[in-house]
Amino acid sequence: MKAKGQIFIVSAPSGSGKTTLLRKLLEEDERLRFSVSYTTRKPRGRERNGKEYFFVSEMEFETMIERGRFLEHAKVFGNYYGTSRQYVEDCVTAGTDLLLDIDTDGAAQVRRQLPEAVTIFIMPPSFQALEQRLEQRHLDSAETIRQRLDWASREEIHQFRHYDYVVVNDLLSRSHDQLRSIVMAERCRRDRSLEQIENILKSFGGDSIDR
Ligand code: ADP
Ligand code: 5GP
């Protein structure tokens, strides 16, 4: 019996350090693929089409919604973002573990459809640290930063309660270790190791797993 791919969903208020942490995790973990989302926002900095996102127009995005192409989609800070249903299904069937970097609204939509998905919430160590990180990143205007902080305080930060795990991104190396450990521990769950266990049992002369 071939094991299905495991889905890991990671959400965080903007500026918490999620991109930094996920980049490092993906670099080190060859079994983990990144689900490239579709978005109507414009590319930022060195972002390339097909790498960080698939950049599409509002019309293209809305056509994709009508055709049921998204597993989930949401409007975040005025732009559409969505996860390809086909890509997720293909990875799960092929046994490939998949990382979804999506907002809390999208995470709730996926959780309803795929309750076996593992959800991780990344928290900044404080409001002040979040503010400082958004400023030092030099990506957003003062007005955008104000909007992001306001949304983080009113809505996003409270969503941690719906997630399986919380990682407080204080010291980067420690948060990274925590994130890696979550992924490793989830892979060791009995139900996800049945293929390997079955082979081991065979070597012991047993038939198959008694479930
Ligand atoms: P997000 O993807 O959550 O919006 P980023 O990964 O872009 O956040 O990080 C925002 C800023 O905070 C970046 O300048 C990044 O270098 C910095 N940063 C990330 N993690 C930490 C950390 N643990 N301590 C201090 N600064 C951090
Ligand atoms: P950014 O524009 O800074 O890359 O992302 C803004 C927010 O959109 C982040 O919280 C990110 O997690 C979220 N996001 C990125 N892709 C998707 C997606 O496919 N679906 C949803 N719901 N949110 C997404």
* Predicted pLDDT of residue 174: 98
* Predicted pLDDT of residue 59: 98
Q: Supply 147's token pair.
A: 């909007």
Contact 82, 70 (CB under 8 A): yes
Tell me what the mean pLDDT of segment 42-60 comes to: 95
Taking the centre of ligand 1 as the mean of its atom positions, its distance from the CA of residue 136, in whole angstroms, is: 9
Tell me what the mean pLDDT of segment 126-144 comes to: 93
Decide: 84 in ligand 2 pocket, CB within 6 A.
no
Rounded distance between C-alpha atoms, residue 44 and residue 100, angstroms: 19
Residues 6+ apart with CB under 8 A from 6: 97, 98, 116, 118, 186, 187, 192
* Predicted pLDDT of residue 87: 98
* Predicted pLDDT of residue 191: 87
Taking the centre of ligand 2 as the mean of its atom positions, its distance from the CA of residue 101, in whole angstroms, is: 6
Rounded distance between C-alpha atoms, residue 104 and residue 81, angstroms: 12
Q: Which long-range contacts (CB under 8 A, 24 or more apart) does 170-175 make?
A: 170/125, 170/129, 172/17, 172/20, 172/21, 175/17, 175/21, 175/122
pTM score of the predicted model: 0.95
Rounded distance between C-alpha atoms, residue 168 and residue 126, angstroms: 9
- Which ligand gives the minimal distance to the CA of 44? 2
